[in-house]
Amino acid sequence: MADIPPQIEALIDMMARLPGLGPRSARRAVLHLIGKREVLMTPLAAALAEVARGVRNCARCGNIGTDELCPICASDKRATGEICVVEDVADLWAMERGGAFKGRYHVLGGTLSALDAIGPEDLRIPQLVDRIGAEGISEVILALNATVDGQTTAHYLAEALEPAGVQVTSLAQGVPIGGELDYLDDGTIGAALRARKRF
């Protein structure tokens, strides 16, 4: 656009690349930030830089954190023996908001997808298999989205985990067909967890 300082235009372009923001809402967000320079814009810049510098994936479960182990893996308050498998960190957070699961997680980093050519070797599946014996896991709860790719991945995991002799269950009642965990209300996720069934 004519006669907008290039630094501000570059900032708007970056903001417009965030999910849920288009060009117009990016412009409004930048003007809002400029109007709250000291109380919001400068702290936000610092927070982004700090997280960008410090964030890393948990060496065990793939969740994000700032240390080698994420807060959940590092906590001694989480139940041992159960692993909840999720597609990504957004779904892990959705499970945590539900508050019903007390064990630890395993973040696959995606789902199998013929269309996107994502095979088992592209996900953190070998690491999951390794954890069964190493951590003495007795139950793996598959909390995958009720989509075609999610369910394909669930079936693949159930077979891959069979030799380990671990019980494999999945979220059942309450997850609507085609539904994505991150869109569900907290109570629904809790109910689905409690009513989980053998896979």
Residues that bind a copy of itself (CB under 8 A): 1-5, 7-8, 10-11, 14-15, 17-21, 24-25, 27-34, 37, 40-52, 54-55, 64-66, 70-72, 75, 88-90, 93, 96-97, 99, 182
CA distance 18 to 26: 9
Closer residue to Zn ion in complex, CB, 15/61: 61
Closest separation between CB of residue 66 and a copy of itself, Å? 5
CA-to-CA distance for 146 and 157, rounded, in angstroms? 15
CB of 58 to Zn ion, least distance (A): 3
What's the distance, Cα to Cα, between the start and end of the chain in Å?
A: 56
Nearer to Zn ion among residue 42 and residue 66 (C-beta):
66
State which residue, 86 or 142, has the beta carbon closest to Zn ion: 86
Task: Write the binding mask 19 to 58 for Zn ion: x where contact by CB under 5 A, - elsewhere.
Answer: ---------------------------------------x
From residue 45, alpha-carbon distances to 10, 38, 40, 151 in Å are: 15, 11, 9, 40
Identify the CA nearest to 31 among candidates 4, 3, 51, 2. 4
CB of 88 to Zn ion, least distance (A): 14
Distance of closest approach, residue 18 Cβ to Zn ion, in angstroms: 26
C-alpha 8/C-alpha 180 separation (Å) is 36
State the CB neighbour count (10 A cutoff) for residue 70. 24
User: What residues line the site for Zn ion (CB under 5 A)?
Assistant: 58, 60-61, 63, 70, 73
